[in-house]
Structure 1
Amino acid sequence: MKLQTQRFIDRWVGQVLCGAVSTWVRFTGLWGTPATIDTRAKNILVILLSEMGSIVLAGPMFAALRRQYPHAAIHILQLKKNQEVSKLLSLTQVENMHTLDDSSGGMLVRDILAVSLKMRKLGLDAVIDCELFSRVSALLSFSTGAPVRVGFTPHTQEGLYRGSFINHAIPYNPYQHISKQFLSLVDAMASAGSAPRNKAAPIRAVPVETELSVKFSPTELEAYRAKVQNDHPVTIERPLVLMYAGGGILPERAWPAAHYARVAQGLCAAGFAVGLIGLKDDAQLAKDLKTQVGSDACLDLTGYTKSIRELLMLFHASELLITNDGGPGHFATVTPIQTMVFFGPETGKLYGPLGTRNIVLESGIACSPCLSAYNHRLTFCDGDNQCLKRIAPDPVLDQALAYLQTRTEAASV
């Protein structure tokens, strides 16, 4: 199903359904008390339908849930196309991973009904809706039958109505990193009611680490490095630097291809190999970049890795990743590789990769960031993304070479 179709249905049909559910909950709750949860909870569901990068940013939240509710089975509901990442990161047991197929409207409705029935039979203690202002995820939190429903509220924001049946709600805060806000959802679950009335929540800093890992044996990593060198002999003598120049589903997030070409030229001239990574859809972009770079040390690696796990092994075999905002920059945080990530339509202050091995590159232009939860990530930009075009390539090249030189000197000691 097209993204615009999903947004249309979510906005118009979703608001009507949210209003109906809110009326029902308000009427039936007149004679009840607010639902609560304790540390003996048995089943908790996390709804996380966002892009794959958000799964990594939610790592500290899952770690906090396991510590706070050690006896609970943590269930995850996500889009089918994103499940590979959750399995790789071992966010929970495979049997507790549930999916929605959004390839068509019929498949999506079928899966919503099936998951709702399954969760009701299971008997959830609580559900955490990690989506910001999606009506379908809010409705799902109700349809699962969980008595404690945690999620974000727009408070008085006009046009973002998603009902009033989230009974442990916190205001979305556009000034706090999303990983910190995910942790606030865990805090809200144990509170007596919705925030901001609950003033006793812990003071938290932005998590330093994802608290996620993917285990590779030294033998496995060495075998993959040998495979890369066998497939691309230029990497035997040249350290490998990776570039992800694609914009994914949001092309306005892409740093200009000409800028990438300039940096790749400089890296190749300095004795490095440059690998252009991406999906098969990025193959033409990689071909064009190779032509612009004009060096045998520039490699087309689009489609080279067959899974996220292979991509992480490629990160282990490389020195640096230069990337647009997107999944690769977040996946890299569970490996030793250093990253340089471009932000513009969105900001690293809210969605930057966690950890200390990354550099966020932003221009600070007045209209940046233009994508937010409040506009459903629909930019008012006309396609001329000056926020990224104004990040000049030569300073980026200098910064990359400075890091690579430092790494080379450290390795030789």
Structure 2
Amino acid sequence: MRVQTQRWIDRWLGQLLCSVVSVWVRLVTRGRPARSLPHEPRHILVILLSEMGSVVLAGPMFATLRQRYPSATLHVLQLKKNQEVAALLGLAKPEHLHALDDSAGLGLLGDIWRVSMTLRRLPLDAVIDCELFSRISSLMSYLSGAPLRVGFTPHTQEGLYRGSYINRAIPYNPYQHISKQFLSLVDALGADSMPRNKAAPIRGLPSDTQLVVPFEAAELNAYRHKMLADHPTLADRKIVLIYAGGGLLPERAWPAAHYARVARGLCQAGHAVGLIGLRDDAQLAHDLLAQIGSEFCVDLTGYTRSIRELLMLFHGADLLITNDGGPGHFASLTPIRTMVFFGPETGRLYGPLGSRAQVLESGLACSPCLSAYNHRETFCDGDNQCLKRIAPDPVLADALTALTQPSQAHS
């Protein structure tokens, strides 16, 4: 199903269904005392339907849940296409990972019914809905049967209506990093009543993801040797990986000509460049190779067959330069240094966690322009000046400086 179709259904039909459920819940719960979380909850569901990078940013939230409720079984509900990441990161046992397939409308309706019945049979003590504007996740939180439903509320702001049946609601804050807001959802789970009148803990931005993907040294060395055997021009040089694709949101892409200028400079300085991405990015990589014109720049689009292989590729390289998206967040799970471009969205809310990531933003007055309040629909008509105005030469200088610093990659 096309993304725009999903958004249209979610915006109009989703709001109508959320309104109906809100009225129903108000009628059936009138006069009943507020529910509290048991001292030792048995089952807690986390709903994470958005992009794969958000799963990495939710790492501190999962760590806190395990620390506070060690006896609880954690369940995770995701879109089927994103489930590989949850399994790789061990967010829950395989039998506790639940999926919705959004590729076809009727199939999605069938999955909603099947998953809802599975969750209601547990039964759940609480559900944490991490989505900002998805009404399907809000409805799933109710259909799951959990008596405590934690999620974001717009308060008086428009553009985020998801029903009034979220009984542990916190206001979405567009000025705080999303990882801190995920942690606030955990705080709301243990609140005695809502709206909360007790201040949540004061936290700084989490210093890392608190997620680990274990690799054996032999496995990493074997993968690096295979990469160098397949692309011998990368040998004996520091390797810079470049992800120039924009994915589902092409307005997040730094101009291809800028990437070509940086890659050319890196090759001239004695380094090697690998262009990464999905198979759909092959044409972009072909065009960039023609502009760069160096034997030390190779096409690695489609080279990795899984997220695990992508992480091994990061382990075998020295620097990643990337647009905002999943690769920058996955890189934070490895020792590689990262430079990430932000414009339509901001690193203040969605920047990778950890000290090895450098966020590159222009600070243009209209940036960021994508938010939960406009359904992530920009008004720049593809002319993303917020990224075009980040000049390539300063980026090249920063990249060369980063390559002089000690790296733990492939050590």
Q: TM-score range by the shorter chain?
A: over 0.9
User: How far is the alpha carbon of 1:159 from its aligned partner?
Assistant: 4.2
User: How far is the alpha carbon of 1:198 from its aligned partner?
Assistant: 2.8
User: Match for residue 266 of structure 1?
Assistant: 265
Q: Distance in 2 between matches of 1:73 and 1:306?
A: 31
User: Match for residue 63 of structure 2?
Assistant: 63
Secondary structure, aligned partner of 1:237: coil
- Segments of structure 2 that go 5 or more residues without pairing to the other structure are none
User: How far is the alpha carbon of 1:297 from its aligned partner?
Assistant: 0.3
Q: Does 1:352 align with 2:315?
A: no
User: How far is the alpha carbon of 1:206 from its aligned partner?
Assistant: 1.1
Q: Does 1:236 align with 2:261?
A: no
What is the letter of the counterpart of residue 298 of structure 2?
A: L
Secondary structure, aligned partner of 2:248: coil
After superposing the two structures, state which structure 1 stretch, 399-408 or 68-77, moved more.
Answer: 399-408
User: Match for residue 91 of structure 1?
Assistant: 91
Count of aligned residue pairs for this structure pair: 409
Q: Deviations over 1:198-227 (max 9, x none)?
A: 333111211111000111111111111110
Secondary structure, aligned partner of 1:180: helix
TM-score normalised by L of structure 2: 0.98
Q: How does 1:75-114 map to 2 (within 5 A)?
A: 75-114=75-114
User: Match for residue 137 of structure 2?
Assistant: 137
Question: Is the CA contact (8 Å cut-off) linking 1:212 and 1:334 kept in structure 2?
Answer: yes
Question: Is the CA contact (8 Å cut-off) linking 2:132 and 2:160 kept in structure 1?
Answer: no
Q: Distance in 2 between matches of 1:134 and 1:382?
A: 24
User: Match for residue 316 of structure 1?
Assistant: 315
TM-score normalised by L of structure 1: 0.97
What is the letter of the counterpart of residue 278 of structure 1?
A: G
Q: How does 1:296-311 map to 2 (within 5 A)?
A: 296-311=295-310
Secondary structure, aligned partner of 1:122: coil
Q: Distance in 2 between matches of 1:342 and 1:5?
A: 28
Q: Distance in 2 between matches of 1:158 and 1:361?
A: 30
Q: Structure 1 residues 400 and 71 mapped into 2: Cα distance closer, same or farther (>3 Å)?
A: same
Secondary structure, aligned partner of 2:121: helix
Q: Distance in 2 between matches of 1:58 and 1:185?
A: 11
Question: Is the CA contact (8 Å cut-off) linking 1:39 and 1:70 kept in structure 2?
Answer: no
Question: Is the CA contact (8 Å cut-off) linking 1:42 and 1:124 kept in structure 2?
Answer: yes
Q: Does 1:278 align with 2:277?
A: yes
Q: Distance in 1 between matches of 2:212 and 2:406?
A: 23
Question: Is the CA contact (8 Å cut-off) linking 2:77 and 2:98 kept in structure 1?
Answer: yes
Secondary structure, aligned partner of 1:407: coil
User: Match for residue 36 of structure 1?
Assistant: 36
Q: Does 1:212 align with 2:211?
A: yes
Secondary structure, aligned partner of 2:112: helix
Q: Distance in 2 between matches of 1:144 and 1:251?
A: 35
Q: Deviations over 1:61-99 (max 9, x none)?
A: 000100111111000000000000111111111110000
Percent of aligned pairs with the same amino acid: 69
Question: Is the CA contact (8 Å cut-off) linking 2:341 and 2:359 kept in structure 1?
Answer: yes
Q: Does 1:199 align with 2:198?
A: yes
User: Match for residue 14 of structure 1?
Assistant: 14
Q: Distance in 1 between matches of 2:336 and 2:140?
A: 38
Q: Distance in 2 between matches of 1:253 and 1:334?
A: 22
- Segments of structure 1 that go 5 or more residues without pairing to the other structure are none
User: Match for residue 72 of structure 1?
Assistant: 72
User: How far is the alpha carbon of 1:12 from its aligned partner?
Assistant: 1.3
